[in-house]
Structure 1
């Protein structure tokens, strides 16, 4: 599983890095960014929770 954040949709609410800092962080531009590569299995549940918590649905989890 990988995480992708749509830069154009993200509003910078900082919810995803609060829920799953192992996968998401905020850039200097004030938008969320996901780690490169696969999400570690032990935090996949937290990554899914972060995606579900995004108020603008800017996070996509896929292969």
Structure 2
């Protein structure tokens, strides 16, 4: 099974830590209300740091 990067936008508190740690995988929404995954199939090495740093634990790998 393939895995993909998931970010729960309802739980996101817009702290921007994932964007700062891994800008190749995350960006802020146009209104700045939450972070977004740029590419769910990313292979960026910094993703794990973003996952472990998220204060509300709203980023995870999911399986299709």
Q: TM-score normalised by the shorter chain: which range applies?
A: 0.7 to 0.9
Number of aligned pairs? 60
Higher helix share: 1
Higher Cα Rg, which structure: 2
Q: Distance in 1 between matches of 2:21 and 2:31?
A: 20
TM-score for both structures, normalised by structure 1: 0.82
Q: SS where residue 61 of structure 1 aligns?
A: strand
Displacement of 1:62 after TM fit? Answer: 3.0
Unmatched runs of 5 consecutive residues or more in structure 2: none
Compute the RMSD of aligned alpha carbons: 1.4
Unmatched runs of 5 consecutive residues or more in structure 1: none
Q: SS where residue 52 of structure 1 aligns?
A: helix
Give 4+ residue runs of structure 1 displaced > 2 Å after superposition: none
Q: Is the 8 A contact 1:24 1:35 kept in 2?
A: yes
TM-score for both structures, normalised by structure 2: 0.81
Aligned residue for 2:54? 54
